[in-house]
Structure 1
Amino acid sequence: MTTATKMPAGNLPVILTSFIGRRSEIADVKQALAQSRLVTLVGPGGVGKTRLAVHTAEEVRRAFSDGAWFVDLSPLQDEDLLVSAVARALRLQSRSRAWGPAALARHLADLELLVVLDNCEHVRDACAVLVDALLRACPSLRVLATSRQGLEIPGEHLVAVPPLPTPATEGPLSPRSIERYDAVALFTERAQAVASGFRVSDENHQAVAALCQRLDGIPLALELAAARLRVLSPQQILERLEEHSDLLRSGNAVAPERHRSMHSLIAWSYDLCSAEERMLWARLGVFPGTFDLEAVEQVCAGDEVPRELVLDLLSGLVDKSILLTAPGADAMRYRMPETIRAFGREQLAAAGQEKELRRRHRDHFANIYGANLPWFGPRQRELLSWMRLERDNYRAALTFCLEETGEPVASAVHMVGAIAAETMVRGFLSEGRHWMHRVLELVDEPTSERALLLWVDGWHALNQGDIDGGEPRLEAGRDLAERLGDAGNAAVATVFLGMCAMMRGDVEGAFRLYGDAFARMRREYEPLGFVMAATRLGFASFLLGDADRAVELCEEAIAESDAHGEKWHKAEALADLSTILWRLGETSRARELAADGLRIQRDFDNAVGTAQFLEILAWIAAAEHQHPRAARLLGSADGVWHAIDASLFPQLLGYREETETTVRRALGARAFETDYRVGLQAPHLDNVAFALDEPEESAAPTDSSAVGVLTRREREIADLVASGLSNRDIAANLVISRRTAEGHVDHILGKLGFTSRVQIAAWVAENRPSDQSRS
């Protein structure tokens, strides 16, 4: 989220298979959400907690003006990254030094949203602390959690998720009598997906009933069994389960029967796989999240899993519902349900191969870019896109490096460099520093790698406003690089030391440091250090009165960036040059360059850069006497600054204050506040589109007939009344109390001057948009 008040509609995952049954459970969860701000769905693995949570969230999402958001915690291995994981899922960025529960709560304090925390059990204590802090600070937030046990915090409402109802096998049965049971309906639908001619018949209905009961109505177990109907009949599946009944007595003897039954079904499914499929299943357990074919071939192939068979083996596991598929940007990706993945990991450990597979996993992700991370050049977007997909794998691989003694230090450096590239650009600075500090403890030799990590860590700190924390790191990185004769790392560290001086208001000190770095890069050229030094020396020159030199240096940095296909650092040079040209009165060219920079920052999804360009375009608009435009752009920029706990550099605050004073005087206080609030409250992407003179896409037009008559919530309730829903049904639909629903209906009647619900329905029909009327 990069605005103070508006978020996208949410990120609930798209479920490709139909949702079967659970009517009473859905009603229970809706009622619980209306009564409690924390509802936790509890039950064993495979019982369908996630599906129920997502389906219910989808049904109630319109009750939350800022959306329903899904956070999958199953790949998370380090509870210290819980807040970061939630922030990423909610598309939040923050420059806060303390990116913990309190900082997250500040972002969400004024929002009305539902957060689904899925798979909380392995980080339950951390989840409890976070949720408790959020609920105390965010009055319009509700949390729907799934876990094998409750979070045990005040106000929690537990909803036990039972297995699907199954037919009793005693007494007379018929196809029709068993089809009304949800377990049978689920089994039948999933069976028809693999065997299109399957149906419950006189010949198989008793076996189907017995099979559903034998599997305790657990959805995951039913889906695994149904996947076997391509080659086995229900009776054959049942017979083979009976042959494995001893598995129900293995393991934890005091575990509930359905836990052991689930294990039995997974074990039986495992045994039915070919030897190669079983080995691949076990090896895939090292992937904590999603993965692609190339990763499987690199990590899992070899010995019992020939590389040339990997694709066929993956297809076989997909057919058997062991693997799920999800489309990626360029290639299909795969993932395992957590219960199945855990079983595979157990088999891998039992075979004594877990450490070796984790090492292969580490090597694959460490070697994707090797020592040549595309920090500078045309492959930056490629790196960021890759990291967005593979973040969980990089976290797991880096954790292995840090936890296992004797692992190559270079692997940790490569991976933390890739992680840092994303955390820096995307604004997840606390996570970047978390990993940097851990790796720096490992990399204690005086090497160029350590020098690089020191300045990257210092860079993260500066972007959080932590000069005291960043400056010592930068000095240590510069001094080490100079001792090693590493001109590039020495120059970059020196540039950031200049930023420390600039942030303290010491422009002359910054100028000297920037000049030192630039002179070094003139002698010993390295493109990253050259562009960074030229850009910052240019702006410092301008502040000290040398405008011609400033323009020359910034243009040189832009030309050098273009020569290397560089975008990220080019955007920084565009920001400085457009500001300088605006001050020199060249507003047309300044506007063109600022728009180019804003497009780059939009592509990178960088909040700080976006806010900076919105500011610059506001200043330019004011200079061109487009005062309403300037007011909205100022509001747009403030929305971002507030959301990420950041602000302009001190040297630029005067430009902002000067512009706001000019625009307020031109428009008058009331008109200024009106335009300013449009920018402050509009969706972020609409604000960027407005700044670039592009169509605003996400803001739907409001029905003019309702303006000034009904609020958005009242119009929504009026639509439900027109649909024939009772007050009780409206309350359940919108996750509010029945009394609240009744109050809304009374207000609607009063506002419209009506006395009956029929009149409300007629009013809705008359004022419905024409395209809806035709449908």
Structure 2
Amino acid sequence: MRTSESQGTTSSGDEEDFPLYFGEWIKCRRQELDLTQEQLAKLASCSVFAIRKIEMGERHPSRQLAELLAKSLQIPSENQITFIKAARGELSATCLRSILRGGISQPAGDPQPTSGYLPRTLTQFIGRQPELSALSKLLQDPQCSLLTITGPGGIGKTRLAIELASKQQPMFPGGIYYVSLDSINSPEFIVPAVAEVFELTFSGGGDPEDLLINHLADRSGQPFLLLLDNLEHLLVHSSYPCEKEEIFLLLPRLLERVPALKILATSRERINLREEWLFELHGLPFPLHTQFDRLEDFSAIALFLQRARQLKVNFVVTPEEYPRLIEICQLIEGMPLAIELAATWVDVLSLNEIALEITKSLDFLSNRFRNVPERHRSIKAVFAHSWKLLSNDESGVLCRLAIFRGGFQHQAAEKVAGASLPILMSLLSKSFIQHLENGRCDLHALIRQCALEKLREAGHFEATCDQHLRYFVSLARCAQKMLRSEQQAEWFSKIEQEHNNIRAALEWAFTPGAPPDRVEEGLCLISSIDRYWAVRGHIREGVTWLERGLQFSEKMSLTRAKALRLAGWLVNHGNDSQTAIRLLQESVVISRQLNDVVCQADALDTLGDVFWRHGDFAKARDCYAESLELYRKEGNPLSIGLSLASTGRLHVDYGYYQEAELFLNEGLAFIERTPDLRGRGYCLNALGRLALARGEMKLATERFRQALRLNYELGHMVDLSECLQELAIIKAITGDENCASLLWAAATAIQNRSGFNFPMNDTVYSQAPASWLQTASLSEEWKEGEKMSLDQAVAYALET
């Protein structure tokens, strides 16, 4: 039961839990009728995607679809007009309350409660249904009396708050009162501004704050809402901090003395009161590059098109322009103000030109309308307004944080930007940075762009880039060991998280004209995370970075030798054996001259891989033998074990099964002395190939599945896809060609994304039925396999 704060009356839990927006109501009604999304979609002759979007609140159905939904959801004929109006957004979901309970709803023509205290909005409100639902539930919570919507400038806080308030009028029969604080330049004027909205004048004596509190406390007792818009500029450090703190204690005093009151505030910075509940607002949803279907279902796209058509009535986007429209929304990360500013140029520029101008300069994102507040006339104006909220230390840290790409953790922020925890918390509270998953933070793309300009103006850009590069070189050196430890799965994911930061660091390291020591640091960064590039399927990218760095590196350095070894290994995955041999031979020469045993052994071992794939047994055997001898001198059990496993696999493929078994068993024994999952998976795979070559299908399947599980745990795309192909061949040999085609297609799709090609001369091919190999890619199962996700493909391979 829920108790009304103002009147002491109760309302049922059912009423409290009533759906707050149309999509949520649809979901409740569907579940009440025991229908799945797929069943409802079939009844309404629409796609499951459409039902999903409607229930998530990301789109309104067309009138035709609303009529079909009314019939499918068994809405009584006398209530269908009301239902259709609610579906189209003309009425709130509350008008459907009695339909869900089986009664008769109010007539569609009945006026909804209105308030004369909210500003009139002249443009259609787009999207934000999930946010409206979440905020509505917070306002209904008796414990939430002060709710602050926070977010960077231009993110749409004011528009959302007004829309939210307008939909909550039945909840606040005492009225909704809007106070714009934009024009107020001191906290002491908050009391007069609020009093003016309530038509209270201070003509006599007495303290204005007490008079305001007493006036509001003497009201009828009906719940009412006070919307305080744009508080942030009143929260900055002032000459009279004590006075400012005293003024803001007005809010808890109001809530204590006036139990019928709730306060909704918007601010770029949290107010930092114990009573405050926070709701952080982000950009509008936008599609990925490959999502071209139903683009207007994404709120960012819908807003752009609506604003564009205000300027150019016949504005349309052709399918060829879809990627540019998506790119625009991605560049500005769904920020509503930036979307509107970009859309104002459609009468002058093409979408391609608009996207290009955004990347060149933020000066482009400016407004040509006269009746727009000065602080919203451009993104730079928004940023300048926000910049005033920062202390000197905070502004300096923010500029340096702009170097990061894809977010950062506190340790990285401290090392690179000198960001202490109090400063990070302050920047977070002022909406300059935002929380990501796993304890990470990031800047909005447009804030980053503005901050980088400030960093360059201050002359600190190069030094910060150098510090950023050094930090990630240090992280990569630590990762080199950890990627072979019992924590390797965790560290592969950690490096994946930092991939965009690594890209930024390498871009800086290999900038044309970069000094030699910076190039060396870049090559060290790439080589230290050598396993990562293949394991997580970034082979092509790894090769590209190595090519850029090697052209600038010094000719006789150990760093160059290690980079050449890695380049040869990655190039070999693409079946370019000649280039791989050239790179690896140079690595061998340099490492011998520098007398580095490990690098020399690594290069020889990789040369053995190349000759094995190239079909030269003798050269491969000799390279493996020489590298194994060096590894035994060096004494690393993992290196010894992997070299033995490679030698054993070579002998399997050339029919020397007895020798192969000895090498593989010894290799597995060495590897099992280490925590390396990748090495164990590699050796088990080779043992699977041995069993397959001997015709032991059950044992081969078991070995390949063991290897698949390990590689899946690591996210090792190359070895994982190879296991899928080997399991496919077993299925083909044993007569299940449909399953074989599906698995082979799934593996091929993974390899295509990773830049890896399964060598056509691999002896495993020779064991598969030739007729199946020729026709597999033409089957329906192949098409199905290509569409499988990684998780689906692995689960299928382990279960069938």
Q: Would the alpha carbon gap of residues 530 and 320 (structure 1) be closer, same or farther in structure 2, given more than 3 Å must change?
A: same
User: Deviations 1:371-420 (Å, cap 9, x if unpaired)?
Assistant: 77135333432332122111121222223333343645553233222564
Check whether the contact 1:561–1:570 (CA below 8 A) recurs between aligned residues.
yes
Task: State the Cα distance separating 1:358 from its structure 2 match.
Answer: 2.2
Range with bigger deviation, 263-272 or 371-380: 371-380
Q: Distance in 2 between matches of 1:61 and 1:568?
A: 49
Instruction: Classify the secondary structure of the residue corresponding to 2:486.
Output: coil
Contiguous gaps of at least 5 residues in structure 2: 1-19, 22-52, 62-114, 137-145, 151-156, 166-174, 186-226, 236-243, 249-263, 269-361, 369-373
Q: Distance in 1 between matches of 2:744 and 2:507?
A: 43
Task: State the Cα distance separating 1:473 from its structure 2 match.
Answer: 0.4
1:594 aligns with 2:704: yes
Instruction: Classify the secondary structure of the residue corresponding to 2:405.
Output: coil
Report the TM-score, using the length of structure 1 for normalisation.
0.55
Q: Which has the higher contact order (CA 8 A, sep 6+)?
A: 1
Q: Would the alpha carbon gap of residues 57 and 335 (structure 1) be closer, same or farther in structure 2, given more than 3 Å must change?
A: farther
1:485 partner amino acid: N
Q: Distance in 2 between matches of 1:420 and 1:237?
A: 46
Q: Would the alpha carbon gap of residues 409 and 55 (structure 1) be closer, same or farther in structure 2, given more than 3 Å must change?
A: farther
Q: Distance in 1 between matches of 2:578 and 2:57?
A: 46
Matched residue count: 497
Report the TM-score, using the length of structure 2 for normalisation.
0.54
Check whether the contact 1:575–1:613 (CA below 8 A) recurs between aligned residues.
yes
User: Deviations 1:479-510 (Å, cap 9, x if unpaired)?
Assistant: 21122222222122112222332233222222
Q: Which runs of structure 2 are paired with 1:168-183 in the superposition (5 Å)? A: 174-178=116-120
Check whether the contact 1:507–1:543 (CA below 8 A) recurs between aligned residues.
no
Instruction: Classify the secondary structure of the residue corresponding to 1:468.
Output: helix
1:652 aligns with 2:766: no
Partner of 1:44: none
Partner of 2:466: 359
User: Deviations 1:443-496 (Å, cap 9, x if unpaired)?
Assistant: 314232221111101111111111122111000001211222222221221122
Task: State the Cα distance separating 1:254 from its structure 2 match.
Answer: 12
Q: Would the alpha carbon gap of residues 387 and 537 (structure 1) be closer, same or farther in structure 2, given more than 3 Å must change?
A: same
Task: State the Cα distance separating 1:252 from its structure 2 match.
Answer: 7.5
Task: State the Cα distance separating 1:342 from its structure 2 match.
Answer: 2.3
1:690 aligns with 2:690: no
Task: State the Cα distance separating 1:347 from its structure 2 match.
Answer: 2.7
Check whether the contact 2:182–2:229 (CA below 8 A) recurs between aligned residues.
no
Q: Distance in 2 between matches of 1:399 and 1:641?
A: 26
Instruction: Classify the secondary structure of the residue corresponding to 1:175.
Output: coil
Partner of 1:450: 560
Q: Would the alpha carbon gap of residues 382 and 260 (structure 1) be closer, same or farther in structure 2, given more than 3 Å must change?
A: same
Partner of 2:540: 430
Check whether the contact 1:363–1:411 (CA below 8 A) recurs between aligned residues.
yes
User: Deviations 1:1-47 (Å, cap 9, x if unpaired)?
Assistant: xxxxxxxxxxxxxxxxx99xxxxxxxxxxxxxxxxxxxxxxxxxxxx
Partner of 1:314: 424
Q: Distance in 2 between matches of 1:664 and 1:471?
A: 30
User: Deviations 1:175-196 (Å, cap 9, x if unpaired)?
Assistant: 2452676699999989943499
1:348 aligns with 2:455: yes
Q: Which runs of structure 2 are paired with 1:472-487 in the superposition (5 Å)? A: 472-487=582-597
Match of 2:492 among 384, 387, 392: 384
Q: Would the alpha carbon gap of residues 289 and 691 (structure 1) be closer, same or farther in structure 2, given more than 3 Å must change?
A: closer
User: Deviations 1:282-328 (Å, cap 9, x if unpaired)?
Assistant: 22222233111111122222xxx6xxxx2222222222221121112
Partner of 2:722: 612
Task: State the Cα distance separating 1:528 from its structure 2 match.
Answer: 5.2
Check whether the contact 2:523–2:546 (CA below 8 A) recurs between aligned residues.
no
Instruction: Classify the secondary structure of the residue corresponding to 1:559.
Output: helix
Instruction: Classify the secondary structure of the residue corresponding to 1:286.
Output: coil
Match of 1:263 among 372, 380, 383: 380
Instruction: Classify the secondary structure of the residue corresponding to 2:480.
Output: coil
CA radius of gyration, larger in: 2
1:297 aligns with 2:404: no
Check whether the contact 2:537–2:755 (CA below 8 A) recurs between aligned residues.
no
Q: Distance in 1 between matches of 2:773 and 2:504?
A: 52
Partner of 1:280: 397
Partner of 1:540: 650
Check whether the contact 2:718–2:751 (CA below 8 A) recurs between aligned residues.
yes
Partner of 1:700: none
Task: State the Cα distance separating 1:523 from its structure 2 match.
Answer: 3.2
Check whether the contact 2:571–2:580 (CA below 8 A) recurs between aligned residues.
yes
Q: Distance in 2 between matches of 1:459 and 1:180?
A: 61
Q: Distance in 1 between matches of 2:537 and 2:725?
A: 19
1:292 partner amino acid: Q
User: Deviations 1:719-759 (Å, cap 9, x if unpaired)?
Assistant: xxxxxxxxxxxxxxxxxxxxxxxxxxxxxxxxxxxxxxxxx
1:554 aligns with 2:496: no
Q: Distance in 1 between matches of 2:398 and 2:720?
A: 44
Q: Would the alpha carbon gap of residues 631 and 400 (structure 1) be closer, same or farther in structure 2, given more than 3 Å must change?
A: closer
Q: Distance in 2 between matches of 1:58 and 1:468?
A: 56
Q: Which runs of structure 2 are paired with 1:479-518 in the superposition (5 Å)? A: 479-518=589-628
Instruction: Classify the secondary structure of the residue corresponding to 1:427.
Output: coil
Q: Distance in 2 between matches of 1:564 and 1:325?
A: 37
Match of 1:193 among 148, 156, 165: 148
2:443 partner amino acid: M
User: Deviations 1:106-136 (Å, cap 9, x if unpaired)?
Assistant: xxxxxxxxxxxxxxxxxxxxxxxxxxxxxxx
Q: Would the alpha carbon gap of residues 447 and 207 (structure 1) be closer, same or farther in structure 2, given more than 3 Å must change?
A: closer
1:555 partner amino acid: N
Task: State the Cα distance separating 1:645 from its structure 2 match.
Answer: 6.7
Instruction: Classify the secondary structure of the residue corresponding to 1:288.
Output: coil
Check whether the contact 1:587–1:623 (CA below 8 A) recurs between aligned residues.
no
Q: Would the alpha carbon gap of residues 494 and 351 (structure 1) be closer, same or farther in structure 2, given more than 3 Å must change?
A: same
Q: Distance in 1 between matches of 2:127 and 2:686?
A: 64
Match of 2:688 among 563, 578, 593: 578
Q: CA RMSD in A?
A: 4.7
Partner of 1:397: 505
User: Deviations 1:158-211 (Å, cap 9, x if unpaired)?
Assistant: xxxxxxxxxxxxxxx952452676699999989943499998889754656999
Check whether the contact 1:286–1:361 (CA below 8 A) recurs between aligned residues.
yes
Q: Would the alpha carbon gap of residues 208 and 354 (structure 1) be closer, same or farther in structure 2, given more than 3 Å must change?
A: closer
Task: State the Cα distance separating 1:662 from its structure 2 match.
Answer: 8.8
Q: Would the alpha carbon gap of residues 205 and 276 (structure 1) be closer, same or farther in structure 2, given more than 3 Å must change?
A: same
Partner of 1:122: none
1:368 aligns with 2:368: no
Instruction: Classify the secondary structure of the residue corresponding to 2:459.
Output: coil
2:386 partner amino acid: S
Q: Distance in 2 between matches of 1:545 and 1:272?
A: 73
Q: Percent identity?
A: 20
Q: Which runs of structure 2 are paired with 1:91-240 in the superposition (5 Å)? A: 174-178=116-120, 192-194=147-149, 205=179, 225=230, 227=232
Q: Distance in 2 between matches of 1:317 and 1:299?
A: 16
Contiguous gaps of at least 5 residues in structure 1: 1-17, 20-53, 63-172, 212-221, 239-250, 695-775
Task: State the Cα distance separating 1:544 from its structure 2 match.
Answer: 4.0
Q: Which runs of structure 2 are paired with 1:588-737 in the superposition (5 Å)? A: 588-621=698-731, 629-630=739-740, 632-640=742-750, 647-653=757-763, 655-661=764-770, 679=785, 682-693=788-799
Q: Would the alpha carbon gap of residues 519 and 60 (structure 1) be closer, same or farther in structure 2, given more than 3 Å must change?
A: farther
1:491 partner amino acid: A
1:272 partner amino acid: L
Q: Distance in 1 between matches of 2:793 and 2:266?
A: 61
Q: Distance in 2 between matches of 1:223 and 1:516?
A: 76
Instruction: Classify the secondary structure of the residue corresponding to 2:431.
Output: coil
